[in-house]
Structures are given as C-alpha cells and as structure tokens.
Structure 1
Amino acid sequence: MSNNIRFPTKDEIIAKVDTMQAEAVEKLKQLVSFDSLLGNEQDAQIFMQEIFNSLSLNVERFPIVLDDIKDLPGFSPVNWSYDGKDNVVAQHTPPVVASDMLSKGSQGKSLIFNGHIDVVPTGRETLWSKHPFSPYVKDGRLYGRGSGDMKAGVMAFVIAYKALKELGFVPSAKVIFQTVVEEECTGNGTLACLARGYRADAAIIPEPFPFLVTGQVGVVWCNVTVQGKPAHTLEMETGINAIDAAMYLVSAIRDLEKSWNVKEKCHPLFKQFPHPLGFNLGQIQGGEWTSSVPSECSFDLRAGFFPGTPLETVRNSITQAIDEAAKLKKITYQIQWNGFQAEGSTMDVNGDLMKQLGSSYKDVMGKEVPQQPILCTTDCRFFDLYYNIPSACFGPESTHIHGIDESVSLESYRDITRVLACFIAEWCGLQPSSSA
C-alpha cells in the first residue's frame, strides 16, 4: 500500500553514497582521462551521454548554433569554429502520482545541475608528476587535468542522483543535468542550454569551491595587436620595435589595474582581498627574426571587474588607457574583444536555494557551510543575471586548478556528493522509482 512507503532517511542516503565511492572514483578517472580541451570536447560528451542513458534519463546532445545565441545577453564573441561542439542535457521528469506517494514535507521544486566538460591547457607535460590525462590516486587525492575543475563536480551530481535511484526513489520534481562546453572561455555552452528552453526553479554548479559562493567578479578578454616597422639591428633606430611598443601599452594597462584596486573603489563583497581585480597577460606573440626589429606583436589580456559595472564601461576604460598610451608614442594598434565578455554577479544568500543547501550541508557535515566570494567567473551569472533563476556554486575541494598536478580531494568529493543527494531529497522531494 502506498501509505506504508518508508522514505530513506538522511543517514541511509549518506550510507548509500558511501557504498558507491569506489564506483564514483572509477567514473571520475574515466572522465578525467578524456583530453577535453577547447575544440576537443566531443569524446567526453559522448561518455556523459552514455552515463545519462544508463540512468534512463531523457537525453539530448545538441550542437551550439551561434545564430541562436549571438544576440542574447551574456553572449561572448569567438574567432573559432563551433563544429563538433555539443552540449549534453539529460532530464528526469517524474510522473504524476498520488500525494501519499511523495515524501512528506518535500518542496517539490525543480532543479538544474550544470557542469562544464572543457578543461584548460596543461602547460608543459614534463612539469607534471604523471601525464595530465592519466589520472591516478595518491594520498587520498585524484590527480589529473580537470579532476577538480570541474569533472569531480559533474560526477558528484551523477552519483548523487544514482544513489537515490538505487535506494528505490527518484525526485518528485523535474531535474535537469547539463554538461556544457566553453565555460573556461565564453560560457556560450550554458547560454545555449538556457536559450533552448531548459529552465528550473534553481541551479547548482559544483565548481571546485567547498563553500557557498556569494559573488564573483566579471571577466573580459581582449587581443591587442601592435604594428611596428622592421629593420636590421645595425640600424635599429630606423625601425619601430613592436614588442617594445606592446610592453609600453601593457604598462599603461597595469596602471589601470592599480587604479581599479584601490580600497576606496572596492565592491563591499570583495574587501577581504588585497588585490581583487586581476589583469593577466595570458599570451604574447611577436617578432620574426632575432636580428630584425619585430614588425608585429600581439598579446591577450584577461581583466577582472566588480559586479554592477557595465561591460561597455569596462571595455571603454581599457581602450582609453591603451589609446592614450599609444598616442604618446605614436603606436599603431588594433583591439579585438574575443572570448569572455562576462558580467560580475552576486548570489542571494537569503534565498530559498542557499538556505536549503546550507541546511543540507549542516545535516551532513555537522557544521555551518562556509560562504565567500571568488575572484573569477562561473556560469552562475547566466542563471542569476538573465533568466531569474537563483544559482549556487559549491563543489569538492581542489588544488592547482589551471596549474600543474591539479587534484581533487576524494573525501571532499564524497562529502559533496552526500550533500547533493540529501539536497535533492529535500528540495525536489522523493517518490518511489517503481511509480515511474
């Protein structure tokens, strides 16, 4: 009889997640082994599609079409091809059942789990202890590029859902699982999911932060190309050294960075950081011959800025700083805005999502969940700024993300999975899977 249904307790959910730890580690190893760098995400996405299919979810793998998103708020322009770039979305839609087959006190709210499948370049492989796409476990940590950022988070929400299903229950509200491309450079993957109509009452992105993220800075990318005048080094004075000219412009950008980081201008949420807005000179190319004055030099810049600052203001300020310096030295340059054009955002710490996630964390961990802002961007901005969907960013503890010997704590990976499973039970509610 339906009125005799016994729903799983918090301790039973935790115990089930724990019994699946070996499987969780093995699945994470498999996912980390995919070299899912920009433009090479396809095999990892096929792997995720197979995982979602094995859970009997309704799965769609679809290509990103730039014409569908290029005019939407939050879009970032690109100068590369989107051939072979697919998102994978899996959806659990519960059937309508009698009220006495639903867990008591369940909120029955829908939920998106979102995670990116792309990873950043590894740097020189000889600097790694082992090959960056040959994951291994040592001293309770799993090593490999993307282990923390953010493939452990992706597998955490997969295992959380699977644990509930193996207990004989499924969420009593819609749950959408998304693995997207290009979080590391544009966010256009998540934007494409939203443009396709995938919406819910809340979204969780388990990026490698073992605390509730309260806010994130905005980020813009640009490329600056400086023109010089070639000459033989025996008559250097007749030429214009494009590399020297580029470095002169960089010094002007550094002055702008300093001015943005003065305490009087700091956003209240980020006052704890001594230098919250980072300008990174990420790439530089220039010159043709060691004994020739270089005729061209280009560099790529990443600049952070505070939430609430319009993108156009940011771009104008950077352009003005470069332009004023260029005029002083009669430097010819071009600037292009490709990649991140990402506004900063803040999370609603008093909203239902953050409160419930904090409550689930306390139930599992026995302590209050930490909260703090971050000095980078995540795809949370799309949900919060443009689609009125409250989001939370919260995932396993990781080290050296974007660096050498990136790793994730397997204990934290397990703990985050526990929290997410218990959160699903409370936020979405549960019903017997046999009713499906």
Structure 2
Amino acid sequence: MSEKEKVMSWIDEHEQAIIEALQDIIKIPSVNPWFTDDQTITKEGEVQNYIASRLSKIGASINKWEPDPAKLAKFKDKPGYYADHKFENRPNLAATFKGTSDSGKSILLTGHIDVVKPGEGWTTPPFGGIRENNRIYGRGTVDMKGGVTAMIMAVEAIKRSGFNTKGDIIVGTVVDEEAGGMGTLDFIQQGYRADGCILTEPTGMNVAPLCRGILWGKIIIPGRSGHIEMPMGNWKTNGAVDAIDKAMIILENLKVLNKEWAVQKTHPLLPLPCQINVAQINAGEYPTSYANSAEIVFDAQYLPSEKDKNWLGGNVKQEIQEFIHQVAQLDPWLKENPPKIEWLIDADCGETSAEDPFVKCCENSLKQLAIDSKIEGTTCHTDMGWPINVGIPTINFGPGNSRAAHNSDEYLEVDELIKATKMIAMTIIDWCGISEE
C-alpha cells in the first residue's frame, strides 16, 4: 500500500473521529464579540485551546498569542486594522510541524474560528453539533469550523499513519475574521510564511484562487421634519423635506449604476458581477412627521484589480462618493444639502493566478480523488488578501456551500467533510513531500 493509500485509508477508518472533532468545536461557542455582549458565547480562546491540545499530541510546536492593536498601528491604513478591537481571551494560534528536509515545499493551512451570532429560527441547538441525516448542524459548521476541522484532521491523518513531511506544515487558526480580518493581519505580521496556502473557507469543494473585496457603507440623507398631514411648504423658507423621498432618488439611480457595473465589473472566474446591494433602509421618527433623515446601508463589492496602493477599496470608495455627488446635483435640496457617506468596513481581496503551480497541485489532488470540482472565485470576502500581499500563493478551498453560512440551521454534509480532509491531506503529501517517521 502506498503512502497516499495508507493516509486515505486512515481517514476512511477514522470518519467518526473526524466528525466528533467538528462536533467538539461546534459545541464551544465562539461568537465574535463584535456581534454580541453575551460573554457566555464568546469563547474563541477555548476553541484555540482545544486545537492546540489536539495538534500538540501529534508533534506540533505551539505558539498562541493575543493580537495587540497598539503594536499593529503602523498598519492603520492597511487591510484588517481596527484600533478599537479588543482581544482579551481571543488568541491567534500557530502550530508548526517542522519538515525533515530542505527539498520539500512548505504549506500554510489556515482558517478563522470566530463565528457570527446564532440569530433566530433554529430548529436544532445552534451550538449542539447535532448529527442528523448525515449532516452536522450548528453555527459555524460551514463558516468555517468544517474547513478548520478538515485541515487539522488531514495533518493528523498523515502523522497517525506514520509519516512526516519533508516541508514544513503550519496550521494557523485566527480570530476576528467576521469583523474585518485583524486576526490574519496579525498572524502574517508575526512572520509566518509558506510556499503555498490553503484557506479553508467553504467553496463547495471548488478551488477558489480569488475573492472579492467588500465595502460596507451608510449613505446619510438629510431631510427636514414637519407635520405629515400638513402642506410641506417651500423648503427654501423652512418648509418640510421628506428624507425618504430624497432617498428614493438615490435608490433609483443606484439601479442604473448597478446595470453599468454588471457589464464593467466582472471577472471570468466569478459567477456574479460586483454590485451595490442595499441591505438596510432606516428613516423617520413618528407616523405623523416627515422623515428628518434617512440612511441607506449598503454592501458593495470590488475586484482585486481595483485595489488601491494600500491593498484596499479606496478607488471604489471614491467612485461611489463621486456618484452620490452627481446624483445630488439632480435635486435642488440635495444639491444644497448633500448626502454623506460613512464607511463601516473595507474587507480586502486577493487573487492567485489559476496557472500557479500551487493552484495546479490543489486541482490535481481533487482529480486524484475523483472529486467533482472547478476553478471558481468566491464572491464574498475571505482572509486570503494578506497571505497574497506577502507573496504566498493562496487558494480558498473547503467543504460546504457558502450560501449556508450565517443561516439558521447551518449545516455541513458529512461526505464533504471527509472529502475535504482527503483533498487537503493529498495536497500536503504532493506539495510538501513525505517520508517515514
């Protein structure tokens, strides 16, 4: 039996152990505190302790530390930096397996262990890790504890099968991805490097060498309140102005802009063009008063080719600001009382060439396992930007459909969990090289 056959057999024989590893970390609630004040469900540190314990038993050198925004202040204009984020009991983790030879290439396996809050509508316990109909249910099964489990267990499969790798393996689990990516910024700035990186975000088992950047913004439209049952009067002489009516002007023009973006902002590896998607509309104070102000909260995407000099979406921010300014010129009130944009999040993006040898290695792993897959970018943000910025060829690859992320009754198919574990193990063997212990 070949080395690969032994490792794949170990995975098949230990399917239950792999499932239980995922259930274990689902049962540790690790909601990013950006989403909640409930400290009973913000246990990122406990997930890291579990992972550290597991990997140290198979020979990893463990480094665990809490990111310090003060020490990262020099990156204040770069992706992932937020001066007000707190990291007490929220450590990053790096587990390193040193290779046996200089002839093997190194690999970084990375993913985030924070999740969003459960929300409403669950029919199973959100932190129960329940298995039902060959699915594992729970917050984070898809985004992205399933992928994290697969990469951990792929390494364990190689080690438990009696092999070392010629190249180094680094397993990096980070915090804070769900609120902007400061965990990965800190991880990379600690100096961790490799010849290739798999970020185990859910991709439906596709190899995704690209992700889009994401801008969250709030357009604040001024109005002037007045009794809604009375004539509005002339706004130039202190009459009422309905901010909702003015917001509708902007909304209608956003539709026009999105049609242009649908043609201009596309990528051959992406199934969707970039758009400005309206997520929230907030306006008004009383049923009997015209809205004094209105807010349009939006999510806009941008391509790696549109990044600014700081690897962020500054160019697209400017484009949107200029567009809102132009729309304001169409209305006398808005021209004199221009809307303002408050930027909330700028989550970066990245791209590795589909022809890169590491991408080809990952693609070949799936072919060897006869797993249906394709090369397709992911339409949402992932943490792949920083590894790429420092020269590490990086792909997103993981089990589960990203559309299931953040949903109630989030679940992962057991079959995909096992296949993803095999794919990552196969890539480690081919990329790093393997030797007997």
TM-score category (smaller protein): 0.7 to 0.9
What is the Cα deviation at residue 236 of structure 1? Answer: 6.1
1:391 to 381, 389, 394: 394
**Does 2:322 align with 1:323?**
no
Are the aligned partners of 2:29 and 2:42 in contact in 1 as well (CA < 8 Å)? no
Q: CA separation of 1:112/1:250 partners in 2, compared to 1, >3 Å: closer, same or farther?
A: same
| Deviation by residue 1:53-77 (Cα, 9 ceiling, x = unmatched) | 3322232332233344454374246
Long gaps (5+) in structure 2: 233-238, 308-312
Q: CA separation of 1:420/1:129 partners in 2, compared to 1, >3 Å: closer, same or farther?
A: same
What CA distance in whole angstroms lies between the structure 1 residues aligned with 2:371 and 2:174? 32
Q: CA separation of 1:424/1:236 partners in 2, compared to 1, >3 Å: closer, same or farther?
A: farther
What is the DSSP-based 3-state SS (H/G/I as helix, E as strand, rest coil) of the residue aligned with 2:305?
coil
Question: Partner residue of 1:335?
Answer: 341
Q: CA separation of 1:367/1:120 partners in 2, compared to 1, >3 Å: closer, same or farther?
A: closer
What is the Cα deviation at residue 314 of structure 1? Answer: 0.7
**Does 2:379 align with 1:366?**
no
Question: Partner residue of 2:280?
Answer: 283
Question: Partner residue of 2:292?
Answer: 295
What TM-score results when the alignment is normalised by the length of structure 1? 0.85
What CA distance in whole angstroms lies between the structure 2 residues aligned with 1:212 and 1:52? 27
What CA distance in whole angstroms lies between the structure 1 residues aligned with 2:356 and 2:81? 32
What is the DSSP-based 3-state SS (H/G/I as helix, E as strand, rest coil) of the residue aligned with 2:62?
strand
What CA distance in whole angstroms lies between the structure 1 residues aligned with 2:319 and 2:148? 37
Are the aligned partners of 1:287 and 1:295 in contact in 2 as well (CA < 8 Å)? yes
Q: CA separation of 1:82/1:250 partners in 2, compared to 1, >3 Å: closer, same or farther?
A: farther
Are the aligned partners of 1:243 and 1:294 in contact in 2 as well (CA < 8 Å)? yes
What CA distance in whole angstroms lies between the structure 1 residues aligned with 2:259 and 2:54? 52
Question: Partner residue of 1:117?
Answer: 113
Percent identity of paired positions between Structure 1 and Structure 2 = 26
What is the Cα deviation at residue 428 of structure 1? Answer: 1.9
What is the Cα deviation at residue 432 of structure 1? Answer: 4.6
What is the DSSP-based 3-state SS (H/G/I as helix, E as strand, rest coil) of the residue aligned with 1:86?
coil
What CA distance in whole angstroms lies between the structure 2 residues aligned with 1:163 and 1:371? 26
Aligned length: 410
What is the Cα deviation at residue 394 of structure 1? Answer: 1.1
Question: Partner residue of 2:302?
Answer: 305
What is the DSSP-based 3-state SS (H/G/I as helix, E as strand, rest coil) of the residue aligned with 2:208?
strand
Q: CA separation of 1:140/1:393 partners in 2, compared to 1, >3 Å: closer, same or farther?
A: same
2:63 to 48, 60, 65: 60
RMSD: 2.7
| Deviation by residue 1:229-265 (Cα, 9 ceiling, x = unmatched) | 2223233613233344334323333322221112xx2
What is the Cα deviation at residue 187 of structure 1? Answer: 2.1
| Deviation by residue 1:198-240 (Cα, 9 ceiling, x = unmatched) | 1111110111111111432222222222333222323361323
Question: Partner residue of 2:235?
Answer: none
Question: Partner residue of 1:102?
Answer: none
Q: CA separation of 1:54/1:376 partners in 2, compared to 1, >3 Å: closer, same or farther?
A: closer
Q: CA separation of 1:33/1:289 partners in 2, compared to 1, >3 Å: closer, same or farther?
A: farther
| Deviation by residue 1:259-302 (Cα, 9 ceiling, x = unmatched) | 1112xx254515x74x4213222234333323232323333211
Question: Partner residue of 2:418?
Answer: 414
What is the Cα deviation at residue 122 of structure 1? Answer: 4.1
Question: Partner residue of 1:3?
Answer: none
What CA distance in whole angstroms lies between the structure 1 residues aligned with 2:359 and 2:103? 14
What TM-score results when the alignment is normalised by the length of structure 2? 0.85
Question: Partner residue of 2:405?
Answer: 401
Are the aligned partners of 1:113 and 1:204 in contact in 2 as well (CA < 8 Å)? yes
> What does 1:132-281 align with in structure 2 at a 5 Å threshold?
132-209=126-203, 210-235=205-230, 237=232, 238-262=239-263, 265-270=264-269, 273=271, 275-281=272-278
**Does 2:47 align with 1:47?**
yes
What is the Cα deviation at residue 113 of structure 1? Answer: 0.9
What CA distance in whole angstroms lies between the structure 2 residues aligned with 1:149 and 1:34? 14
Are the aligned partners of 1:215 and 1:269 in contact in 2 as well (CA < 8 Å)? no
Are the aligned partners of 1:224 and 1:299 in contact in 2 as well (CA < 8 Å)? yes
Q: CA separation of 1:369/1:400 partners in 2, compared to 1, >3 Å: closer, same or farther?
A: closer
Amino acid across the alignment from 2:215 = V
What CA distance in whole angstroms lies between the structure 1 residues aligned with 2:326 and 2:13? 62
Question: Partner residue of 1:4?
Answer: none
What is the Cα deviation at residue 335 of structure 1? Answer: 1.6
What is the Cα deviation at residue 34 of structure 1? Answer: 3.7
Are the aligned partners of 2:214 and 2:345 in contact in 1 as well (CA < 8 Å)? no
What is the Cα deviation at residue 341 of structure 1? Answer: 4.0
What CA distance in whole angstroms lies between the structure 2 residues aligned with 1:248 and 1:120? 34
What is the Cα deviation at residue 152 of structure 1? Answer: 0.2
Which 4+ residue blocks in structure 1 deviate beyond 6 angstroms?
none
Q: CA separation of 1:107/1:420 partners in 2, compared to 1, >3 Å: closer, same or farther?
A: farther
Are the aligned partners of 2:44 and 2:91 in contact in 1 as well (CA < 8 Å)? no
What is the Cα deviation at residue 368 of structure 1? Answer: 6.7
What CA distance in whole angstroms lies between the structure 2 residues aligned with 1:185 and 1:239? 39
Amino acid across the alignment from 1:45 = G
What CA distance in whole angstroms lies between the structure 1 residues aligned with 2:231 and 2:347? 39
Question: Partner residue of 2:382?
Answer: 378
Q: CA separation of 1:43/1:404 partners in 2, compared to 1, >3 Å: closer, same or farther?
A: closer
Are the aligned partners of 2:215 and 2:301 in contact in 1 as well (CA < 8 Å)? yes
| Deviation by residue 1:89-120 (Cα, 9 ceiling, x = unmatched) | 22224275xx7xxxxxx951111111012223
Q: CA separation of 1:360/1:33 partners in 2, compared to 1, >3 Å: closer, same or farther?
A: same
What CA distance in whole angstroms lies between the structure 1 residues aligned with 2:287 and 2:84? 30
What is the Cα deviation at residue 147 of structure 1? Answer: 0.8
What is the DSSP-based 3-state SS (H/G/I as helix, E as strand, rest coil) of the residue aligned with 2:229?
helix
What is the DSSP-based 3-state SS (H/G/I as helix, E as strand, rest coil) of the residue aligned with 2:157?
helix
1:108 to 104, 107, 123: 104
Long gaps (5+) in structure 1: 1-6, 100-105
Question: Partner residue of 2:236?
Answer: none
| Deviation by residue 1:109-149 (Cα, 9 ceiling, x = unmatched) | 111111012223444x13x3324333322222212222111
Are the aligned partners of 1:78 and 1:338 in contact in 2 as well (CA < 8 Å)? no
